[in-house]
Amino acid sequence: MAAAKASLGRILPESSALFLCDMQEKLRDRVLYFPQIVSMAARMLKVARILNIPVLLTEHYPQGLGPTVPELGAQGLRAMSKTSLSMVPPLQQELDKMPQVQSVLLCGIETQGCILNTALDLLDRGLQVHVAVDACSSQSEMNRLMALSRMKQSGVFLSTSEMLILQLLKDSAHPQFKEIHKILKEPVPDIGLLGFFQGKNNSLLPNSRP
């Protein structure tokens, strides 16, 4: 199968990987919209498992920040411990084992830290990066929004989890469409970005220019 055109940002299950970044217990009460973004990341994880998309999970300094929260549904995944503000160094060997991967779907926290640095490191490797904006957050709304804008400037594709899932499916005749459609019918929580898009500052919108 032909590779997806990088300029269009198309994603295919067979050439994608899902990265889940640092959704840990001690950050539960610090990060804005934590339950909501974890629920969206959990949705991405469910779909990745159905479509056999490889999933990589990290925990930042788990001795201090605790384990991954159970509601993510990541039981059975091996969490890679890290101190770097990027997922790429601890996952380097795993990435090297997946030469088919051309696109990374990225969820987690914090947007201005590990998400931003992971995205830039992946771009350096020549990979497409797709950030699920409804599955990422920070302790500060300003940091969250500026990090999303910064990633867009660098060539990261900003999407919602549902946009990414529907791109992966492509057709309602897909064998797993009904199973995944049930997931998409679950209520979508407010993750705090709608008011930003409705405001005067719309720098994250598709047709805006820096």
The pLDDT-based confidence of 192 (bands split at 50, 70, 90) is confident
Measure the CA–CA gap between 43 and 179, rounded to whole angstroms. Answer: 12
List beta partners, residue 94: none
Contact predicate 131/159, CB 8 Å? yes
pLDDT value at residue 1: 45
Q: Which positions are catalytic? A: 22, 82, 114
Q: Assign 3-class secondary structure to 154-201.
A: HCCEEECHHHHHHHHHCCCCCCCHHHHHHHHCCCCCCCCCHHHHHCCC
Measure the CA–CA gap between 143 and 113, rounded to whole angstroms. Answer: 9
Higher-confidence residue of 23 and 194: namely 23
Within the chain, how many helices (H) and strands (E) appear? 8, 6
The alpha carbon dihedral of 91, 96, 97, 102 has a sign of positive
Q: What is the mean pLDDT of residues 59-79?
A: 97
Q: What predicted TM-score, i.e. pTM, was given to this entire model?
A: 0.92
Residue 198: pLDDT above 70?
A: no
Q: What is the pLDDT of residues 108-160, one digit of tens each?
A: 999 999 999 999 999 999 999 999 999 999 999 999 999 999 999 999 999 99
Share of the chain above pLDDT 70, in %: 90
pLDDT value at residue 205: 55
Neighbours of 166 (CB within 10 A): 15
